[in-house]
Amino acid sequence: MEIGTNGELGGSCTPKSPNETAIEAASRETFLLRGRTIADFVDKSKGEKWSALQRLLGLGAIDELRTDLQKARSELKHPRDDATAKVKQLAAAVVAQKVEPEKPKIDAALAKLAKACGFEAQATIEDYAKLDLLSLIDPAKSPMSSSGAVKAALVAEIDATDIDVDTDAFGVWNGTVDGDMGDPTHVDVLAAASRFVEAHPDAKQCPVCDKKVTAKALETKIAATLAELQEQSEQFSTSETMADNAADALSQAQKERARWRTKAKEVGVELPAIADSAKAVKSAIAERRAIDVKAVSAFVDSLTAWDNNARTLLASEAAEPAPASTRNHAIEFGQLLVAAKQWGDASAIELRAKKAYERADAVFELCQSEQRKYVQSVLEQISAEVARLFERLHPDTGKIGSVAVETWGDKGIELAVDFYGQRQRPLHGVLSESYMNSVAIVLFLAMARTFNERLNFLVLDDVVNSFDVTHRGRLGDLLIEEFQDWQLVVLTHDRYFFEQVRRKVKGWSAYQVLGWSYERGPSLREHRGATDVDAAFELLEAGAIGDGARRARRGLEHVLKELCEGLQVPLPYRRGNDNEFREIGQLLNGLRRLLKDDSRGKTFLASIDGTLRSLEADAQAVLNAEAHASDTGPSVGEVRSTLERVRDFDALWTCTKCDTRIWKESGVRCKCGASPFPPNVAAK
């Protein structure tokens, strides 16, 4: 059999369809933490922390639903209040007919008047409206009957109206605008400027004042100013809302009396004109200036006198009652029928508006209550883990402890800590930036560990910027020991943190980002060895003797620095960055002094003195010669021998069972306790 082919491939490729359900579920889990997210979270107000926590917990959609429900409730409140005011107004017209505004009493009065006019009682107001009342009424012969009813209705309406204007709200407003509160318009302008800076990172001048400034400085200044104004803006908005409500009540009082004046004029009664005090108040609020509270209070007081005067004028010109007759009964019947119909329609509208508002209010309160209960249960679950992880990062805090996240009010959360016997929240007053960042990091880790159901996967992007060297090392230890069963992606600009974590773990992939281009994306260089010594061996195998020697020197320095830090070797004081740039000989001498002064270390020092001298000689003859570009560089064999001695010396301080150093902050043994200090040279 012979098989031939022309090299072309046939068939079709059917890619596996993604599991949309699994992707959606996994996307709700906590897995990404950026350094800027930490700073944003710590600096937010308690209300903003609440919203941020909703997003961290994957409850952003629920929080948006709660906000929409709150907005719907507010929008339904105004129609309800307007409907209630309308019913109150129309009820006064029913009272003017000497009938209580209640459906049974209105039905009884209509039935009585219908029988007086020769009609049968009807089932509904609509049925009464179909009766032929016009045949019983001759308006031309009884003009005063209608006029008297109008006057009586106006008097009843005036009697039923209360003057309810909160002039204290204007005083609060004046205190706000005269004080140092944040105008919301300032926040709006700065927020717009912040968005402009984010959209134009290369901007070289301020979008508000056009002054030249770097984008970074502008962004920092805007963020700081926004945070400062935010709390003040909330107080400003509250006082503005109170003043607006009082101004609306004042305007409503004016409109009611203007309407009464117009109706009275139609029946021949001239009432005094009403001044427009609300216009000046609303203008002051709109222009962010103080309100003349004395003038407004005097105007409100004058309304009572105006009402009394209107009652007197309307009562003095009231018409004589019409004689009892069928025609008069028909007129009374018609007036009551009109008033009852308007009152009934308005009551039905009010009932619907109340039910809509009450339902929206009940749904909102239930949603907010359940959300608050869930958030509280979440905080209770994670607070213990937050405190434990914080203790790992800061074991020497002394009187600082019980770090937790607590609810604050109906819609607020805040970070809290016990500080020398007092509960402190927020943390800004007692903790440094590094400590606050620690709290945010352990909060993220605690939430991921507690609530992630699908993803044992974390990405930490540049989260150690404000950490000192000690805390960076502890964070590395925490990630390695507490999350050893998780997939971790750790991104950092800090080389010390990078090298420290890389040295402490085996099996991790380590890459350095060399650059980035639009066409090719990021350019990476893999660090295959776990330590600089491993990397030096790789360079040596590749024939790069000089690079290998330089890397070996750095590896020896790292080993000695780690020893000096872990064993708390006393070294001469150095100011600033000079403390990081110590010579190998200085580090070795410090280690010798520590071992010589320790009762357990003298014998050990004697056993490794030859090794220390060899390392010191290697640093001078092999590593320094290459580092200083000497004429005769070291050979491959010399560098290899030096690397082997450094590697053996490094291994001397590591437990073969648990692969941890023989010193710990809480004692002088390795993690598993099998290897004490000083190391057993013979066992090694």
SS (H, E, C) 606-636: HHHHHHHHHHHHHHHHHHHHHHCCCCCCCCH
**Pair type for strands 32-34 and 400-407:** unpaired
Main-chain phi, psi angles of 163, to 5 degrees: -95, 110
Q: Which of 121-130, 409-418, 454-463, 519-528 has the lowest mean pLDDT?
A: 409-418
Highest mean pLDDT pick, 223-232, 240-249, 389-398, 653-662: 240-249
> What integer pLDDT is reported at residue 493 of this predicted model?
85
Residue 184: pLDDT band (50, 70, 90) is: low
> What integer pLDDT is reported at residue 142 of this predicted model?
43
Q: Say if residue 530's pLDDT is above 70.
A: no
Contact 147, 264 (CB under 8 A): no
Main-chain phi, psi angles of 212, to 5 degrees: -75, 130
Position with higher pLDDT, 514 vs 230: 514
- C-alpha count within 13 angstroms, C-beta hemisphere, residue 373: 6
Give 472's contacts (C-beta < 8 A, 6+ positions apart): 464, 494, 496, 497, 500
CA-to-CA distance for 248 and 332, rounded, in angstroms? 36
Mean pLDDT of the chain: 77
Residue with token string 């109906």: 410
Residue with token string 């006198």: 305
Residue 523: pLDDT band (50, 70, 90) is: confident
Q: Say if residue 365's pLDDT is above 60.
A: yes
Q: Say if residue 333's pLDDT is above 70.
A: yes
Distance from the Cα of residue 32 to its chain's centroid: 17
Q: Say if residue 359's pLDDT is above 90.
A: yes
Q: Say if residue 319's pLDDT is above 50.
A: no
Region 403-415 average pLDDT: 66
The DSSP call for residue 117 is: T
> What integer pLDDT is reported at residue 135 of this predicted model?
67
CA-to-CA distance for 403 and 397, rounded, in angstroms? 11
> What integer pLDDT is reported at residue 117 of this predicted model?
82
> What integer pLDDT is reported at residue 9 of this predicted model?
63
DSSP lists the bridge partners of residue 667 as 664
Residue 349: pLDDT band (50, 70, 90) is: very high
CA-to-CA distance for 106 and 337, rounded, in angstroms? 9
Work out the number of other CB atoms within 10 angstroms of the CB of residue 681.
13
> What integer pLDDT is reported at residue 579 of this predicted model?
64
CATH code for residues 28-59+370-527? 3.40.50.300
Q: Which of 210-214, 319-323, 345-349, 507-511 has the lowest mean pLDDT?
A: 319-323
- Identify the helix (H) or strand (E) that includes residue 510: strand 510-517
> What integer pLDDT is reported at residue 358 of this predicted model?
93
Position with higher pLDDT, 87 vs 24: 87
> What integer pLDDT is reported at residue 352 of this predicted model?
94
Region 353-367 average pLDDT: 91
Q: Which two tokens stand for residue 520?
A: 């090719």
Region 390-413 average pLDDT: 70
